[in-house]
Amino acid sequence: MESRIERLCIDRGLKMTGQRRVIARVLSEADDHPDVEELYRRATALDSRISVATVYRTVRLLEEKGILERRDFGGGRARYEATEHGHHYHLIDIDTGRVIEFEDAEHEQLMRQIATRLGFDLVSHRMELFARRRPQGVGQSMGQGAGTAGTAVDERVAGKGR
């Protein structure tokens, strides 16, 4: 089956090799922010004939084509997510590494104003919150908790503007 990202690749005239198709699928199915190592892991699980070099090359290509966006959440490794969901920001749980996405309508506008005030045209911006899960009141535990710290099982959060 043709994955969403494979479609985008085809639309932009990219040659669809076996490994690209696999990587495209992995990316299409990812709803988190995997780094190259993780993408490589997922891809080789589907087809072992893929090298890290190819993942790096593909990821770079897709970024240039505007299909992917590179993120830097600190920690030295670049992480990727598909370009699609409207502008959103990230909150990184410093204890678990989990990344939560959120939107905030006001921000982009505010940042644009600031740039303008300084005599610039805003090209892009980034904002990340590093935070710690607030200790819950009594007992009422939280669906997925402090358990599996480490691997970032990212989640997405709706909510719009404050």
Partner DNA sequence: TTATATGCAAACAGTTTGCATGGGT
Partner DNA sequence: ACCCATGCAAACTGTTTGCATATAA
Residues lying near DNA in the complex (CB under 7 A): 14-20, 35-37, 49-54, 56-58, 60, 76-78
By CB under 8 A, tell whether 56 contacts a copy of itself.
Answer: no
Q: How far is the CB of 116 from a copy of itself (least distance, A)?
A: 7
DSSP 35: B
Q: Which is nearer to DNA, 40 or 103 (CB)?
A: 40
What does 121 interact with, of a copy of itself, DNA, none (CB < 5 to 8 A by kind)? a copy of itself
Considering only CA atoms, which of 73, 99, 101, 98 is closest in space to residue 149?
98
Does 147 bind a copy of itself (CB under 8 A)? Our answer is no
Q: Which does 124 bind (CB under 5 to 8 A by kind): a copy of itself, DNA, none?
A: a copy of itself
**Would you mind telling me the total number of residues written for the chain in this entry?**
162
Q: Given the complex with DNA, which of 5 and 103 has the nearer CB atom? A: 5
Contacts of 100 (CB under 8 A, 6+ apart): 90, 91, 92, 93, 154, 155, 156, 157
The number of beta carbons lying within 10 Å of the beta carbon of residue 134 is: 6
In 3D, which of 80, 84, 100, 82 has the Cα closest to residue 92?
100
| C-alpha distance from residue 4 to each of 9, 22, 80, 134, 161 (Å) | 9, 12, 16, 37, 29
**CB under 5 to 8 A by kind: which of a copy of itself, DNA, none does 106 bind?**
a copy of itself
Task: Return the number of the residue (82 or 111) whose C-beta is nearest a copy of itself.
Answer: 111
Near a copy of itself in 92-131, by CB under 8 A? 93-94, 100, 102, 104, 106-107, 110-111, 113-131
SS3 annotation, 76-87: CCCEEEECCCCC
Binding site for a copy of itself (CB under 8 A): 72, 74, 91, 93-94, 100, 102, 104, 106-107, 110-111, 113-134, 142, 157, 159, 162
